[in-house]
Structure 1
Amino acid sequence: MYEPKTKENDSSVIEFIENVEHPQKREDAYKLLDIFTETTGFPAKMWGTSIIGFGTYHYKYATGHEGDAPLAGFSPRKAKISLYLAAYNPEREALLADLGKYTAGKGCVYINKIADIKVEVLEALIKQSVSFLRKTYPGE
């Protein structure tokens, strides 16, 4: 049976952020920690070794694959900061158009630094992600 690698754990979020090498990324990680905590209302938890997640939901696909994931999160990676927000969300594209400088993959939005984006749009994206995932996967 498939066992997800990225699970919620008791590692220290602050210790993880303190170990971010680049000073600007570390500073942005603390700002994002505040933004995500205030916007979601959930405490920060480490997911795997490098994702800071907020809240949780249980998903189950038609294929039978299921697991748990954070409702929203981020990771200050070496190249860019990854923002984990609901991917298959019709309202997401409209909000992203106003975010600022970013790139997007299938499930992530990537930014270089907070100064490149509008924080109020990020907050709207986070709220919208949490709302969408709670409606899509009720029961949490």
Structure 2
Amino acid sequence: MYKLKTKETDNSVIEFIEQVEQPKKREDAYRLLDIFAETTGFEAAMWGPSIIGFGKYHYKYDSGHEGDAPLVGFSPRKAKISLYFATGDTEREHLLEKFGKHTTGKSCVYINKVADIDEEVLKELIKQSVLFLQERYPGK
């Protein structure tokens, strides 16, 4: 049986950010913390050892797999900053066209630094992701 790896923890978000080695990346993490918190209205929480998440939802797939996940989040990783938004939302792709310098993976959007992106588009991506997930998975 599949065991969910990324769960909400009681670890300190601030302590995690303070452990980010690169000063500029640490500064960007604090900027993102402010933007995500202000935009969502949710308090930041650690998910697993390295994801800062905001809000949460409960999902259940047709396969029967279910669990909880943050509505949106980010992680200041060594190579790039990972941003977590809802996948499967076509509006996400339209917003990403105006976002600035980034790359995308299966479920992440990667940036080098906050200065590379349009912060207003980031706020729209956050709002859209939260709305999409709350509509798709009502209840939390």
**TM-score by structure 2 length?**
0.99
Cα distance in 2 for residues equivalent to 1:3 and 1:9: 16
Counterpart of 2:28, as a letter, is: D
Counterpart of 1:67, as a letter, is: G
Counterpart of 1:112, as a letter, is: N
Counterpart of 1:74, as a letter, is: F
Cα distance in 1 for residues equivalent to 2:49 and 2:8: 9
Within the alignment, does 1:32 sit opposite 2:32 as a pair?
yes
Cα distance in 2 for residues equivalent to 1:105 and 1:2: 22
Cα distance in 2 for residues equivalent to 1:2 and 1:66: 10
Please identify runs of 4+ aligned residues in structure 1 that moved more than 6 A: none
- Alignment of structure 1 residues 49-88 onto 2, 5 Å: 49-88=49-88
Cα distance in 2 for residues equivalent to 1:106 and 1:47: 19
Alignment partner, residue 41 of structure 2? 41
How many percent identity over aligned positions? 73
Alignment partner, residue 100 of structure 1? 100
RMSD: 0.5
Alignment partner, residue 18 of structure 2? 18
| Count of matched residue pairs | 140
Counterpart of 2:92, as a letter, is: R
Within the alignment, does 1:117 sit opposite 2:117 as a pair?
yes
* Per-residue deviation, 1:25: 0.5
Gaps of 5+ in 2: none
Counterpart of 1:125, as a letter, is: L
Cα distance in 1 for residues equivalent to 2:2 and 2:58: 15
Deviations 1:70-113 (A, max 9, x none): 00000000000000000110100110000000000111000000
* Per-residue deviation, 1:45: 0.1
Alignment partner, residue 90 of structure 1? 90
Cα distance in 2 for residues equivalent to 1:139 and 1:38: 22
Cα distance in 2 for residues equivalent to 1:27 and 1:52: 15
Alignment partner, residue 5 of structure 2? 5
Counterpart of 1:9, as a letter, is: T
